Structure formats: structure tokens, C-alpha cells
Structure 1
Amino acid sequence: MRLKALVAAAALCCSASLGHAAGLMAFEVPADVSGPALKVLQWSPCARPADTVRLGPFAIPAVRDCPIAGDGKLPLIVISHGFGGTYLAHHDTAEALANAGFVVVALNHPDDNAFNAARFDSLAALRTRPIDVRRLVDHMLGPAPAAARIDPERIGFFGFSRGGYTGLVLAGAQPDIRQLRAVCQDPTGAKCDRIPAGMVPPGEPASDPRIKAFAIADPLASVFPNGSGLRQIRAPLQLWRSQNGGDGVAPADVAAIATGLPEKAEFHDVAGAGHFAFLSVCPEALAREQPAICTDAAGFDRAAFHAELNGQAVDFLRRELDRRAGP
């Protein structure tokens, strides 16, 4: 998905507010031989009263650079945005997870975020996205200030659209990028032609066994035709599907993911939802500029849906990560 309106989200300014808050900090993972620098936002449990942190068009209930509250090691969740998105695309989900006791990091994928529109015609991100996440996990377990507070045995993932594809690959799926469909008049992409073979990026995306549980929303699924390439997935999945699809994601392809997994996923079929319903509720300014990603079908309440989505994601990730942490 495209969130060009978030290009302005480079500056932070705070004003007082009331209520519970998550701690919020911005940092970079340095460039290395595996890729360029990664811009990251981190949410974490915070014991201080909430401020309002303004990032572009969003007002985030958070406290900048708040020390991580509590004692002991906490689970880590990585959030991966969709095509043309940013680390703010699912900020309400990040806030809910942080308030529930998780350390959460969301990154801007360098090859297909809103700050780098020059890369929109490239498919390189289908190879580099899993690498981005592995580099971020390396950082969070290594030089990151929060490393001492993170339990390396409890790492989870939330991803939407191409971010959902990223999660499936990290879980062990083997995509056939040659099956990707080009943009055409069909918003789900189901009736579009396949991309030219010359556009397929070289190299094979690889899994990361450190990530133990995955919440996946409306993934780019056409690269797993008829649910193929999923046999190596063993981690628990929570899979969400919009009823109407969109932006090249066909509901039938997402359903094929559910039936193609070797172990049954926790499956949620969201009635009345289009593809972009998984994005955080748009503030008025963004809704005026980007109606395609902010407007839902008549009768669909995105705010109410996100209360369900976030609650279910928190419960699933907590349960599965705690179960795999051992005694």
C-alpha cells in the first residue's frame, strides 16, 4: 500500500495528554554488507502518563524515550508494512502490543517504503524484505539499548500485505515470484497477467527460525499459487483475510494459504473489509489526501475492527510465545 502522505513524518513534537502510554523511540540500524541503514520506531511498556507524539498526520499516544517499564525480559515483535508504507502504518497495533508488555519494532523497508518512491517499479523488495527483518532482529539482540530486556526465545511478527508475504517467507515459505501478477483493472490482481520473467529479482528469500509466531494480515499470496511452497512452515500462524481484497491481493489466494499450511492456522475472515482496513484509522488530513486507503465500505467500522484485531493479535502472540519459551 502507498502512504505518500507520511513522508513528512520525520519530526517529533509532543504535547501533554492524559491516559496510558507506550514508550516511543526512533533509531537506525546501521548500513552493512547486507543492506542500507534501516529506519525504525520502537514501542515499549512505559510507566509514565501519556503525551501526544505527532508524527506527520498522526497523533500517537506515547512518551518519547521512556525507560522500559518493569523487570525481566520481554517478548519482541517485529512489524512489517505493506507496499509503499511506513513504520507508522500499524501504529495502533504497536501501541496495543507495547501496552500488553511487548517490545515492538516497526521498520521502513528501504526498497518499497513511502520515502523511496523511486523503487516502486522494482521487485527487489521481495528478496530484501526478509533480510531487512533478520538484520533488525540481529540489532535488537545485539547492540540495541533494549537488548538486555529482550527474551531471544520469544520473538514474534506482525505483517500486512507485502509485510504478510515477508512473514510467510521468514516462517519458511518458498515463494515463486514468477507467479506475481502485474497491475491491471482488477483490484485483487486475480485476473491480471503475470509479470515478465526479467523482473524477477535474483536470489532466494530465507527464513529466520528465531521468530516463533506470526500474525499475518491479507498477505501478498499470489506468489504461493494454490497454497504451494508452504510445506516447511512449522511456526504457529494467525491469518487474517479481508472479504473484498484489493491492491493486488485476492481473497481466494489468501484462503489458499490457510488450506496449504502443514499445520492449521488461526484463521479470521473479516466480513465487509477491503484490503486497507488493516491499516490504522486515518486522521482527517490523511483521509482527505489518500481516500483510497482510508475509505472503507459502507457499514464497516475500521476503529471497531482494530479493537478486535489488536486484541486477537495480542492474545495470540502472548499465548504462542509464552508456550514456546519453556519453563
Structure 2
Amino acid sequence: MLRRVFVIVVLLVGLLPFAPGADAQRPDAPRYGERGPYPVGTQEVTVPQPGRELQATIWYPALNPANEDQQVEYRYGLLLLDGKALRDAAPDAANGPYPLIVFSHGSGGFRLQSVYLMEHLASYGFVVISAEHPGNTLADSLLGHDEVSGIVENYAYRPFDVLAEIDYMAGAESPLPGVVDAQNVAVMGHSFGGHTALAAAGAQMDFGALQNWCADPTYSTVAPSSPEPDAMRPRQRVAVKELVCFLQGRDAEIASLRGLDGTPDGLWPPTTDPRIKAVVALAPWNAPILGAAGLAKVTIPSMIMVGSADSTTYPPRDAYTAFTDVSSAEKHLVVFENAEHLLFANACTPMMERSYFDSCSDAVWDMDRAHDLIDHMAAAFLLATFYDDADAAAALQPDAVDFTGVVYLTGEAG
């Protein structure tokens, strides 16, 4: 079943032990792909929320007076991941407060799916939190929970999980009191998490737009290296449509879960917060459910990254359309030519490459190189946005983004 494939692709990667990219940084990493100046601390926390408690991991600028090696082992059930941070280290409060980044994982994913990026951003002076979205996690998939029901439920709940994380990090129960600048927040996510980030950034759902798209699909061609639908095999063309259109008719259920009085006609109520000042969407899923009008509600600085060969979140349907339709005065599109959907997840350890290479790598891209570029673009964008860093802003100029295999576009609304 095609809907099942969407979850299983991410699930397969979640079963493997990973080596986050921080330890595999290449000597040719661009400036902001190099590790930042701050030691990184990490903690496990629980975000309180009525009926939907969130298990989360945080990363933050930390003190390291003894100059210890930054080595940490993350645990997710039986899964162990090596990282480059200090467990439960004291925060570097003197140089704070620091802007907050809220990361949202993909469907069937988990909060540690992009550790390399979380640690990297913390090393540049950001506090990062990544939480499980109950009902739509790797653990839920392993336990045999119905993935479609989990996706439908999470269309109702995911953006509010993000807002709850902001409130938690800003509130009296914060694990980092006085360290978080919760008036300056970025939202970031991969796949379904990319949709979640856009929804928290201001995008509004529109089931009428989804119905219209499913009746007559349209595609954006701003980065033409993606395969055209007409050139795809019939099964691929069906997947491009069905991986979003199966949500038709689920609007009443989602509205009920949100506690709305009936199903909205047109744009749904916003799920954003004025503290959110920037969005980074990695291979975001399902632009048609937002539509042009819903995406236009995003006005904050935006960066969208995707692989042009992504067969899960087909770029002309999702990422390119999102880039075209958001109303941000500043927006960036980063396309990794011929890369697939899992480029943004952790790479696996060398010992796993023999048996699971297809599930923890990319057919074209070296994962370490791709992660250095992802780190570079995300860090430069966030430093320029939140710290007014002129050098970081210069690194985002079109003539500075000169990397083989990367298509880079900037633009303004309209």
C-alpha cells in the first residue's frame, strides 16, 4: 500500500545504528559547515502537555572547563547513537540567552534522526529541542500502530506540539532557565516535520485546495533537475498523487481532534506563534494540503532544502511549490541534485554499510559532504537571521553558494 511506503522508508533508516556527521566532518567543509565555537551540552527532558506528553532531547551551548572530549551516547530503546556533545553539561549562561530552534522529525521517525544537525546548530549559539510526536514515531511503527491513523492524528496535533515545546523552554519548568531567548524562535523539520515547521510558521491547511490539486495536479519547475511526471513509470506517477491525496475526506476527523466546531471552509485557523521568526523546511511534505493561499501566510524568513530525486516528497509537488508560494520577503531554496529523501537523516556506521547501504546512504551523494553543506546553509541562514551576522549573510549570496551539485535560488514574494 502506497501510504504505508511513506512511513516504512523512514522506518528502515530508524532501525540502524548511526554515526552523526559531526564526527565525520570532511576537511573541505565550507565555513559554516565547520563546527562552531561553543561546546555542546545535551539533556533528555519531558515536555508536559495534557494528554500528550512529549519525550524530547535538547542541545545547547555548554561549559567545558576541563576541556573534555565531547563524546556522548544517545539511546532510543535498543538503538544507540554516538554523538559529539557533553551529557548534562552546565549551560554557558554568561553568553546567552540564545535563540531557540524547534525540530520536528519525519513520519515514522524519531527525535534523534538528525543528531549531526542538532549538535551543529547548538555549537553556533542556539538552543535546540527535538521531541517525539506521539502516534507517528519509529516506536509506534515498531509496535504495529496504524500509520494512517497516526498521520491523520498528527495533522491535528503536530503544530501544537511545537508551540508546547516553545512554552516549555520559555516557562518556569524550563531545564535551562534564563538561557533561552524564547522571543526568537526558528522552526525546522524534515518531511512531515517540514510540513509541521511550515504550519507552525504560519501556513494554513486548506482541504479545498487539496481536493482541487488531486483532481488536476500541478507542479512547480523552479529547479528542473527533478524528473517530470510524464517521464515517470506509471507506479511512480500514482505514488506522487496518492501519497498526498489519501488525506481527502479526513478533514472532519482532523477538525474534531482539534476541537473545532465543524470543518473549516477554506483556510483553517492558524497554528503559529509570533515568537517564531524563521523556518527551515527539509524535504517538506504535502504542499497541496496547504495550497497557494495557505502557504502565502508564511511571511517570515524561510529556507527550504530538498533532493531533486526525492521520491517520497516529490519536489515539484512539495518543496518547489512551497518556495514559490510562501510570501517571505527573504526565502532560499537549496536543491541537492539527484539526491533522495533520506539525505537529511543521520548516516550509518561503516559496519552497517555492507548490509544496509541503500537504507542509510544516498545513491549519488556522499553523506558527509551533504551534511557539511546542510550544516553550512542552515547555520549561515540562522546566524544571519538571529544574530545579524554579516559574514553569514554574505555566505548566502548566490555567488557564494558555488557547490557542485547544488542548485540555489533566492527570491521575494511574488
TM-score (ref. length: structure 1): 0.85
- CA offsets 1:92-144 (integer angstroms, 9 cap, x no match): 00000111111111111112111112141211111210011111111100011
Which residue number corresponds to residue 165 of structure 2?
Answer: 136
Distance 1:46 1:139, change over 3 A: same
Shift of 1:283: 2.4
Checking the alignment, whether the CA contact within 8 Å between 1:241 and 1:251 is kept in structure 2 is: yes
Letter in 2 for 1:155: V
Q: What is the distance in 2 between the residues matched to 1:269 and 1:109? A: 27
Query: Aligned AA for 1:29?
Result: V
| Bigger mean CA offset, 56-65 vs 84-93 | 56-65
Paired amino acid for 2:242? C
Identify the match of residue 53 of structure 1 among 70, 73, 85. Answer: 73
**What does residue range 19-168 of structure 1 map to in structure 2 within 5 Å?**
21-32=39-50, 35-48=51-64, 49=68, 50-55=70-75, 56-71=79-94, 72-117=96-141, 118-122=145-149, 123-142=152-171, 143-168=173-198
Give the structure, 1 or 2, with the largest relative contact order (CA under 8 Å, sep 6 or more): 2
Determine helix, strand or coil for the equivalent of 2:99.
Answer: strand
Q: Are positions 1:3 and 2:48 aligned together?
A: no
Deviation at 1:192, TM superposition (A): 2.8
Q: Aligned pairs, how many? A: 309
Q: Identify which range, 143-152 or 284-293, moves more after superposition.
A: 284-293
What is the CA–CA distance in structure 2 between the aligned matches of 1:6 and 1:285, rounded to whole Å? 16
SS of structure 2 residue aligned to 1:124: helix
In the alignment, the residues of structure 2 paired with residue 291 and residue 3 of structure 1 have an alpha-carbon distance, to the nearest angstrom, of: 15
Q: Which moved more, 1:74-83 or 1:64-73?
A: 64-73
User: Are residues 87 and 152 of structure 1, via their aligned partners in 2, closer, same or farther at CA, if it must alter by over 3 Å?
Assistant: same
More helix by share: 2
Determine the C-alpha separation between the residues in 1 that align with 2:356 and 2:161: 27
SS of 1:135's partner is helix
Amino acid at match of 1:195: F
SS in 2 for 1:273: coil
- Check if 1:321 corresponds to 2:386: yes
Looking at structure 2, the residues matched to 245 and 159 of structure 1 have their Cα atoms a distance apart, in angstroms, of 16
Q: State the alpha-carbon separation in 2 of the partners of residues 153 and 281 from structure 1.
A: 33
1:195 — aligned with what? 246
Q: Flag the structure with larger Rg.
A: 2
The answer (yes or no) to whether the contact 1:130–1:206 under 8 Å persists in 2 is yes
Give the gaps of 5 or more residues in structure 2: 1-6, 18-34, 215-233, 259-267, 390-414
The 8 Å contact of residues 187 and 201 in structure 2, kept in 1 or not, is answered as no
Q: Which amino acid aligns with 1:52?
A: V
- The more displaced of 300-309 and 53-62 is 53-62
Distance in 1 (CA, whole Å) between partners of 2:98 and 2:290 is 37
C-alpha spacing 1:6/1:225, structure 2 compared with 1 (3 Å): closer
Cα-to-partner distance string for 1:139-196 (whole Å, 9 max, x where unaligned) = 1000112131111222112211111101111111112357388xx9428932437226
The CA deviation string for residues 42-78 of structure 1, in whole angstroms up to 9 with x for no partner, is 1111232212324324211121100112513111111
In structure 1, the partner of 2:297 is 232
Report the secondary structure of 2:139's partner residue: coil
C-alpha RMSD of matched pairs (Å): 2.8
Counterpart residue type for residue 190 of structure 1:
V
1: distance between equivalents of 2:127 and 2:238? 34
d(CA) in 2 for partners of 1:302, 1:199: 37
- Seen in structure 2, the aligned counterparts of structure 1 residues 290 and 131 have a Cα distance that, compared at 3 Å, is farther
Aligned residues: percent identity? 26
Secondary structure, in 3 states, of the residue corresponding to 2:242? Answer: coil
Aligned to 2:284: 219
Contact 1:172 1:233 in 2 (8 A): yes
Please state how far the C-alpha of 1:287 moved relative to its aligned partner. 5.4
Q: Who is 1:262 aligned against?
A: 327
Q: Normalising by the residue count of structure 2, what TM-score does the alignment of the two structures yield?
A: 0.68
Please say if 1:294 is aligned against 2:318. Answer: no
